[in-house]
């Protein structure tokens, strides 16, 4: 399996916002011939520079490439990103990727494993967006069912659903009113992440009140990355010490995005 996550922090509306994307490096895939599971390390999170966005994936990892050879998605994805630089909208990139994966996925493998793709980034007007597509449904207990041999349509989870709670009118970035609010999207083996992630934020808030602990001074990328790494170290330790199957594993990739705009002083508040 895997663990991928995207967090959209709105410190003061969407113009003062931060996106944190992360993924572990534990790859689980099926042998092409006997379908037995194999394990290795590799990237599942990639930056799309020309869209100020990221793409990450979980589940089925093998496709049939342009040369009709079996290839791992971690090796194929960078080439796809490079060859699609003409896209100016993340939704168009996502639909292109979904169509390509439906054409190249190994159907026998796909119907055996829950699988999906996260797309998260900033529109040209600085509005954050998150969308995903998958071949399955997720149950309230964190497990997956209704697994298909193809990927379903893209769902625009943030702008099409969650941002409406903050006043999003579908057009004007200023319509989103949110201060120190966050939306979190995760897939893969999310059980430990769900159990610990937000509670670790509560731990930090208490510890940073101690006089002999140095509180991070800002929402700089360096401070955010340090906090995220500490939380991920705890998640990894849970799997290493207690899990009978190492579904999630370090090292971790972390990408931090901000809207492209004029330079300004970062907020003094730490996302929580």
Of the candidates 260, 271, 203, the one whose C-alpha atom is nearest the C-alpha of residue 51 is 260
Determine the pLDDT at residue 60: 76
Of the candidates 5, 86, 78, 24, the one whose C-alpha atom is nearest the C-alpha of residue 46 is 78
Contacts 24+ apart (CB under 8 A), 104-107: 104/63, 104/64, 104/65, 105/60, 105/62, 105/63, 105/64, 105/149, 105/150, 105/151, 106/32, 106/60, 106/62, 106/63, 106/64, 106/70, 107/149, 107/150
Tens-place pLDDT, residues 46-86: 999 999 999 999 987 889 999 999 999 999 999 999 999 99
pLDDT beyond 90 at 264: no
pLDDT beyond 80 at 246: no
* E strands present in 96-189: 116-122, 128-134, 137-138, 144-145, 181-188
Q: How confident is the model at residue 203 (pLDDT cuts 50, 70, 90)?
A: confident
Q: Which letter, b or e, does each residue of 224-262 get, where b requires 16 or more Cβ atoms within 10 Å of its Cβ?
A: beebbeebbeebbeebeeeeeeebbbbebbbbbbbbeee
Q: What is the mean pLDDT of the chain?
A: 85
| Mean pLDDT on 129-157 | 92
| Mean pLDDT on 249-265 | 76
pLDDT beyond 60 at 263: no
Stated length of the chain? 272
Determine the pLDDT at residue 269: 47
pLDDT above 90: percentage of residues in the chain = 50
3-class DSSP assignment, residue 172: coil
| Mean pLDDT on 96-119 | 93
| Mean pLDDT on 143-155 | 94
What whole-number distance in Å separates Cα of residue 57 and Cα of residue 77?
10
Query: What are the extents of the domains in the chain?
Result: 3-257
- Classified by CATH at the fold level, domain 3-257 comes out as 3.60.20
Tens-place pLDDT, residues 170-181: 999 999 999 889
What whole-number distance in Å separates Cα of residue 46 and Cα of residue 77?
8
């Amino acid at each position: 399996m895997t663990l991928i996550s995207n967090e959209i922090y709105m410190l003061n509306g969407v113009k003062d916002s931060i996106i944190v994307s992360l993924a572990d490096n534990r790859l689980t895939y099926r042998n092409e011939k006997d379908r037995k599971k194999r394990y290795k390390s590799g990237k599942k999170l990639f930056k799309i520079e020309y869209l100020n966005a990221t793409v990450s994936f979980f589940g089925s990892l093998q496709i049939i490439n342009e040369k009709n050879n079996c290839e791992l998605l971690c090796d194929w994805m960078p080439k796809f990103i490079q060859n699609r630089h003409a896209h100016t909208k993340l939704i168009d990139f996502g639909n292109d990727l979904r169509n390509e994966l439906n054409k190249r996925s190994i159907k026998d493998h796909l119907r055996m494993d829950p699988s999906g793709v996260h797309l998260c980034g900033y529109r040209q007007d600085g509005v954050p967006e998150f969308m995903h597509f998958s071949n399955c449904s997720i149950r309230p207990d964190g497990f997956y069912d209704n697994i298909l041999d193809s990927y379903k349509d893209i769902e625009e989870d943030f702008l099409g659903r969650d941002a409406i709670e903050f006043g999003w009118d579908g057009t004007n970035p200023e319509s989103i009113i949110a201060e120190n609010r966050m939306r979190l999207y995760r897939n893969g083996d999310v059980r430990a992440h769900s159990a610990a992630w937000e509670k670790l934020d509560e731990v930090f808030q208490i510890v940073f009140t101690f006089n002999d602990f140095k509180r991070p001074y800002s929402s700089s990328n360096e401070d955010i990355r340090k906090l995220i790494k500490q939380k991920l170290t705890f998640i990894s330790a849970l799997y290493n010490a207690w899990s009978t199957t190492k579904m999630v594993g370090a090292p971790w990739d972390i990408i931090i995005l901000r809207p492209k705009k004029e330079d300004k002083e970062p907020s003094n508040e730490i996302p929580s």
